[in-house]
Amino acid sequence: MVLNAALLGFGNVGQALAELLIEKQNTLRQDFDVELRVVGIATGSHGQAIDPGGIDLRQALELRRAGSSLEALHSGHPIDDPFRFLADSPIDLLFESTPTNVEDGQPAYAYIFGALERGVHVVTANKGPVAFGYRELAALARRKNVGFLFESTVMDGAPVLAIGREGLPANPILRVRGVLNSTTNYILTRMEQDELSFDQALGAAQEIGIAETDPTLDIDGWDSAVKTVILANVLMGADLRPLDVERQGIRHITLADVQAARAAGECIRLICQAERQPEGDVVASVTPQRVAVQDILASVTGTSSIVDLETETLPCVTIVEHDPGPTTTAYGMLADMINILRGRHLTDILPM
């Protein structure tokens, strides 16, 4: 089958996805009988291109890395608006990887809603729309009989949501506990192992490119809160928003705090947790905590992430992702596409 797709967002993740689609084209053809044709690419600052006959991904990557506009690849009247881009793109599936808005999930929510309304499958790496609109978007996808998958929103390419979706049937998840933000874990690790101050460790994270110039979303716990909400809502049937999460970041953590924890046989981690209460409600938090070095969450250092699922039948299911990057995030999107084509739609299985 021929599958027409568009990439909305062509930053680090979008470019890594394009490279992966090139690399896996023979596998898609031979193992899944899919001839993937990218007919549209939209960027925030390097133009937009639509070509119903297919866009040369290698050429698109060359243009993007040279800082040139993608408009040279466009066929038809000029496009300068993402909504017009989506309306004009003849697609079966949308890969969405625009920047996350932790305040309300817009405008990505509107992009995804519009695509689903048209009967287009959606794969997104964008946390915002899922954190703020999972139930609505999932219900719309069900009504339109299309896929809406978002594995890459929590732990890049690690199959956290897929395990909850397909690996734990009739086995309610009672508690989710993890370390989900690479930047804060790297900072705390450098403070712990190299005795750097918070500011020095943050500077080191910025030097290697894992922390933004303005690291607020990471160090104040917003990124972790959004991911915790996704896990709670999708895997536990909660109906939370990021502001419902008790949240405290790591900005106030000092080297003295880290040293005191180490002297006590402990370390500090930014712990994400969602737990079902006896009355049935789910309560979520993101807080720096001292954990014993024997605790499995203490074992994850640097940019790695971990999540521990406590279920009704299995005491603990633990997933660790080591040193993620754009390619691992892109892989999660590729896996989502394949799972949609295999009919494994998230909204048919997870609790609402």
Tens-digit pLDDT profile for residues 217-269:
999 999 999 999 999 999 999 999 999 999 999 999 999 999 999 999 999 99
Q: Provide the percentage of residues in the chain whose pLDDT is more than 70.
A: 98
Tens-digit pLDDT profile for residues 142-156:
999 999 999 999 998
Calculate mean pLDDT across residues 42-55: 93
Tens-digit pLDDT profile for residues 154-205:
998 899 999 988 889 889 999 999 999 999 999 999 999 999 999 999 999 9
Give the pLDDT of residue 132: 96
Amino acid making up residue 307: V
Please state whether the peptide bond connecting residue 315 to the residue before it is cis, i.e. omega within 30 degrees of 0: no
Report strand pairing: 266-276 vs 48-50.
unpaired
Give the pLDDT of residue 213: 87
Q: Which of 18-27, 56-65, 288-297, 336-345 has the lowest mean pLDDT?
A: 336-345
Give the pLDDT of residue 347: 44
167-323 maps to which CATH number? 3.30.360.10
Give the pLDDT of residue 44: 87
Calculate mean pLDDT across residues 322-346: 90
Residues annotated catalytic, as ranges: 227
| Kind plus residue range of the DSSP H or E element containing 62 | helix 57-65
Give the pLDDT of residue 183: 96
Give the pLDDT of residue 296: 93
- Could you give the CA distance from residue 162 to residue 151 in angstroms, rounded to a whole number? 7
Please answer whether residues 124 and 337 qualify as being in contact, where contact means their C-beta atoms are separated by less than 8 angstroms.
Answer: no
> Taking phi first (over 0 means left), then psi (-120 to 50 degrees means alpha), and beta for anything else, what does residue 119 get?
left
How is domain 2-157+327-348 classified at the architecture level of CATH?
A: 3-Layer(aba) Sandwich (3.40)
CATH 3.30.360.10 positions along the chain are: 167-323
CATH 3.40.50.720 positions along the chain are: 2-157+327-348
Give the pLDDT of residue 351: 47
3-state secondary structure of 99: coil
Q: Provide the percentage of residues in the chain whose pLDDT is more than 90.
A: 86
- Could you give the CA distance from residue 305 to residue 113 in angstroms, rounded to a whole number? 30
